[in-house]
Amino acid sequence: MDKAAELVCQLEDSPCKAGQKEQSLGDVDKSEVPEQPANRKDKLPQSHTLQWEILGKQFVEYEQVAPFLIPEEQQRRLLDFLPLFLKTWEQSGEAIVFPSIQLLASEVSKLLTKEIKRTLNGKSAEEARLALEHLLQQKGEVKDGYLLLKSVYLLSQTDLRTMWSIIASGLPAALLQCLYLFFTFPLKKSSDGDANEDEIETQEMLVEIMLSMYREEQGVEELLAADKLQSLIIAAASLWDQCSHSWKVPTGRVLRTISKAQTKNSILYLQAVDCIKIAVQNLFKLTDTLPACDVCEAVSIVLCFVKDSYPVSSALLTEFESNDGYQLLLKVLLRCEGLQQNEGDPYLDEILDMLTCLTTCGKTELKVSGNIVHPQLPQFDYEWTRSSGMTVKNLQAFQVLQSIFQKSNDQHLCGTILGAIGTIWAWDTVNFFLLEWTLQPINQFIDIIHLKPHPVQDQFFRLVESIVLDMSYIPHEILKKVQYLIKENVEPFCTLTALQCLLSITRKDPLFSDIFRDSGLLGLLLALLRKQAKILRKSAGIPLPGLEEGTEKELNAVMLKMVAALTVGCVRNTVVLKDYGMVPYIKIFLDDECYRGATLSILEQLSVINYEEYMSIVIGALCSSTQGELHLKLDLLKSLLRILNSPKSHSAFRTCSGFNGLLSLLSDMEGALQEPPHGLWAAVEQNCILELVFYTLQGITAALHLDPVNSNFFQRNGLFEKMAEDLGSLGCFCTQREWQIPLSLERTRTFAEFLDATFSSSEPFPAWLKNCIWILSFLDHMVKGTLHLENYFKEINSEMGEVSRDDQDGVQAHREHPFCAKRQAVESHASAYQIWGNSEERWEMRDCVIVNPGAVCVMVRLLPKLYKEGHSQFSKLGLFTEDFNHTSPLN
């Protein structure tokens, strides 16, 4: 048996989707369960055990006298025994403890078989159908048939040996004949679907008995002599619109069970009577007349016999193929286009699942020698694609899937087919190559993907993406067609989804930076962005109707991200961008927060080849930003900090007036932290204002860090004094208010103690004092040269999407109290910052004691001298306690 046949066998173990709703406990496959004895005395009360023993003795007596009785008397005594059997079963909690259970099952099954044959003998089909109903249902005074049916039902649920006894009685063929009559000849009632409780109970017992029998190969073999299996299959394929509505689902369940237990003999039987051929011909006729969902239900039954028989013999599959079976499937599936959601399920999905399985059913391995186009990823090894046995061998079956996708625009149908293709690839990686080098499904789908519903487009490009991400293979031809699709931009959403696919692929490996440059994608994106930048510039920040909304705006954002991904780590692509004259156009996108992250990333790559150009753009944008553009300033400062990590950028920062530019941000914040805040700052949270101060000081610190030229420039031009003056103008250091509202401190404290007490609920400090302490802490780290390494404010990446409620609470708490997570901020760091003087002349701010708010004001104003002049100067000012320690930052 080949691997494809093994797959079909594995799939047989899972219940069909079409039968899941009807599945019950009786569906458990007893052939996979060890034989369980019917005797369970240890679990029954003694009184119930005694009842079973008495009943067993009575049956032994019956066995002894039965050979000497005429058939009518044997039958009468057995029927008299069954009510006692059923009563004992009910009283013992529906447990059977019977020593001669196989013999009882055989006798009861034989009698039920005899009664069914007697009832059917000499009657027309309609009469036989009505007579069977009277025989098996609990109606009137005569209940012999019902007693037999219920007894067989209970016995069929016990153990495998008992089931074999039932099968040997000839009951499998008799019940299949009953099912044929019930299914084929509906009673002429006003409403065929409204069955009473007795009819429902009879139906359930009949079906469960048949399911139990037909799971066994012996049960299926018993059907062949009666010649009813072919009749029922063909009836299902030709009379689906005329059959009994209430027996459709039960008949489907029974036939699917028979299909799973097919044997060599049953396949030969079905082949000999042209069962599949006749069924396919009849289904072609039904397809033109019946609703699509009904046709799917009938087709799925016939297709089950084709698929399930393949592990045993390919005969039925060959018969199906030679009688235009695939054309039937194509016709039926295309009729399902436009069905309401779930209307064709689960039979539509079942057909597609079986069709997917049939793609691996074939005797000959496909041998396609493809040409691997280079370059390829280092991880790719064509030896990985050697066949594991689960390869596509049946291109006809796959062509049905391919044709449906090409001809249909139904979301469910197309989506299911894409899922099937992904499944086929997952079975064996070589399947992608076999299919793409023969039928080229993905390559062809690209030409029509813009016509499909948006969810299908999204699913398709995720499938394309998986070729690179999961197989580590670069499909150059496919990527070229995707690129052409982007260029044509026939449908904006499709263009967006295709570009997102390429963006994800680009991030897989730096190799794609070269591939997409050489293919012309980078140039295409730059041309498109130039066009959009001109439109933005003309609009002067006013959104144009329909231009910058929805998909179009998102497309611009993804194009910028794509250019950013292509330039990261690729100097050559950055040079291309600069040579295209794109820098003036790229910076236009800075104003929109939707575009800013990718735009800054592109500009940061520009700094690799020209720090001065980057600095002039960013510092110029900072200086030209308005007071209300707080987020723009923060984003620019964070980008600047990333570049200032490189010492080579410090000179460009200085020559591009970086220090003056950042200090101008502080100057523009005059009165921002006073009470109440000045001007437009009243509408801004104080925490955001502090964040702006923090990142501004961080930028200055990063530019000064271990850079003597910048340090001398900062001192020589009096920028320390300028910074102190600008900080003092923020408003929280104002002394006039403080003398009007004196602040009484219980005791003097070190700066570290003040830092802790600031957030203590027992000692609430006014907002202005908290702001003073925060800024002084910034300055403390600035003096030590470590401020640019700190992170008081948790950055929230806009691309991460929504955070959970707990995360939001945590972020909010952190933003309200940035020092809560940074108590160690007052600890010394090893990096000396020489511009503040020799380390032995420095004094640690952590030993500072704030006596009154006025002293804070003096401290800030004396910032340039604070760490140089020594203890005597501070003593005169009354700023420090007598035990102020002389320490070195390197300690």
**Residues 633-656: pLDDT tens digits?**
999 999 999 999 999 999 999 999
Q: Please return the burial class of 16, using the count of CB atoms within 10 Å of its CB with bins 0-12, 13-18 and 19+.
A: buried
Structure tokens at 376: 């390829």
659 SS3 class: helix
The answer on pLDDT for 298 being more than 70 is yes
Quick check: bond before 742 cis, omega within 30?
Answer: no
For 803, which DSSP code?
P
Identify the CA nearest to 658 among candidates 623, 629, 690.
623
Measured in residues, the chain has a length of: 891
Q: What pLDDT, in 10s, does the model give residues 471-528?
A: 999 999 999 999 999 999 999 999 999 999 999 999 999 999 999 999 999 999 999 9
| pTM for the full predicted model | 0.83
Q: Are 102 and 162 in contact (CB under 8 A)?
A: yes
For 17, which DSSP code?
G
Q: Are 334 and 404 in contact (CB under 8 A)?
A: yes
Beta carbons within 10 angstroms of residue 870's beta carbon: 14
Cβ-proximal residues to 262 (8 Å cutoff; 6+ apart), any chain: 220, 305, 308, 309, 312
Mean pLDDT of the chain: 81
Q: What pLDDT, in 10s, does the model give residues 825-866?
A: 333 332 333 333 333 333 333 333 333 343 344 344 444 433
Q: 626 versus 869: which is more confidently predicted? A: 626
C-alpha angle 212/214/217, rounded to 5°? 120
Identify the CA nearest to 25 among candidates 264, 178, 212.
212
The answer on pLDDT for 141 being more than 70 is no
Cβ-proximal residues to 552 (8 Å cutoff; 6+ apart), any chain: 492, 546
Beta carbons within 10 angstroms of residue 299's beta carbon: 29
The answer on pLDDT for 568 being more than 60 is yes
pLDDT value of position 197: 82
pLDDT band of 720, cuts 50, 70, 90: confident
The answer on pLDDT for 297 being more than 60 is yes
pLDDT value of position 788: 81
